[in-house]
Amino acid sequence: MNIYETRRLLDEYLLFHYGSAQEVLPWAEGPQSALGFAVRTVTELADFSRRPQSALDLGCAVGRSSFELAKQVPSVLGMDYSHSFVEAAAQLITADLPYERVDEGAATTALVARVPVDCPRDRVRFEQGDAMHLRADLGSYDLVHAANLLCRLTDPALLIARLPELVNQGGQLLLTTPCTWLEDFTPRGNWPTGSTLDWLKKELSANFDLAEQKDLPFLIREHARKYQWSVALGTRWVRR
C-alpha cells in the first residue's frame, strides 16, 4: 500500500498542518521556531505586494498552505498525489476533521483539524494530480507553491520542465525542499549531481530570476518523544 494513503500518515500530516504548538510540541526545550511550516512556506517566501490573483499549490498535502494562500489570493487550487490527503483537504473547506495523534505505543489523543477563521475557504478548491504528469489544461498562475515536493518525485525534472508554462510572466515560484534525496522515492540517476540549489539555478535560470533564498526549519512529530527536525531550502523565483 502507498504510504501516503495510510490513516497513520494522514493523521500525522493533519497534526503537522493544523496542530497547535502545544499539541505538536509540549516540550519547552524543543525547536519552537520549526513549528507552523505549512504557513511559513507562504508567509516567509511570498511577495504579496505583487497582488497575485491566482495560485497553484502543488503537493499541498492536507491543505494548510492552500488556505494560507487564500488570505491574499482570490483563487487557489491545491493539488496532491494522495487521494486521502486531497479528500481530507476538501472536507476541511466545509467542516472540521477529527483525527488521532499518536502519543506512545497504542496510546492516542483525539484532536480536531480546523481551518483558521481568517482563511477564506471559499477561495480554495482541491484536486488529485501527479506533479510529474499534470493535466494539459491546467493553465497558468500568478503564484505556484511547491513545498517539500521535489525530492519526493520519481523524476523531478518532469516538473521542472513544466514550471515555465505554469507561472505567468512576472509571477512567483515558491519552492522548498529538505534536499533529502532517497532511492525509495527518486532513482539515483535522477538526483542532482551537485547541490540542489546549484541544480535549481541551472534548470530554472533560462526562465526565472532567483529573488530570495531562505532556510526554513520544520518539525514532524512521530510520537510524544520522537520528532523529525529538518531544515528546508526555501527559494522564491520570479518568472521573466
For 122-155, the pLDDT digits (tens) are 999 999 999 999 999 999 999 999 999 999 999 9
For the chain, the three-class secondary structure string (H helix, E strand, C coil) is CCHHHCHHHHHHHHHHHHCCHHHHCCCCCCCHHHCCHHHHHHHCCCCHHHCCCEEEEECCCCCHHHHHHCCCCCEEEEEECCHHHHHHHHHCCCCCEEEEEEEECCEEEEEEECCCCCCCHHHEEEEECCCCCCCCCCCCEEEEEEECCHHHCCCHHHHHHHHHHHEEEEEEEEEEECCCCCCCCCCHHHCCCCCHHHHHHHHHCCCEEEEEEEEEEEEEEEECCEEEEEEEEEEEEEEC
43-52 per-position pLDDT tens digit: 999 999 999 9
Residue 57 in this model has a pLDDT that exceeds 80:
yes
Q: What is the pLDDT of residues 62-87, one digit of tens each?
A: 999 999 999 999 999 999 999 999 99
- Integer-rounded Cα radius of gyration of the chain: 17
Q: In what order do the strands lie in the sheet with 54-58?
A: 124-128, 75-80, 54-58, 141-147, 167-177, 226-239, 208-223
Task: Map out the domains of the chain with their CATH numbers.
Answer: 3-239 (3.40.50.150)
20 CB-side CA count, 13 A: 7
- Per-residue pLDDT, averaged over 197-205, amounts to 98
pLDDT digits (tens, 9 = 90+) for 12-51: 999 999 999 999 999 999 999 999 999 999 999 999 999 9
pLDDT at 2: 75
Q: Residue 168's pLDDT is what?
A: 98
Q: List CB contacts of 112: < 8 A, sequence separation 6 or more.
A: 96, 97, 98, 99
pLDDT digits (tens, 9 = 90+) for 207-237: 999 999 999 999 999 999 999 999 999 999 9
User: Grid coordinates in use for 191?
Assistant: 538526483
Q: Is the pLDDT of residue 1 over 70?
A: no
Give the chain's length.
Answer: 240
Burial 57-91 (b: 16+ CB within 10 A, else e): bbbbbbbbbbbbbbbbbebbbbbbbbebbbbbbbe
pLDDT at site 3: 73
Q: What is the pTM of this model?
A: 0.97
The reported pLDDT for the residue numbered 228 is 97
pLDDT 10s digits, 157-188: 999 999 999 999 999 999 999 999 999 999 99
> pLDDT per residue over 113-128, tens digit each?
999 999 999 999 999 9
User: Which tens digits make up the pLDDT trace of 87-115?
Assistant: 999 999 999 999 999 999 999 999 999 99
Specify the pLDDT at position 139: 98
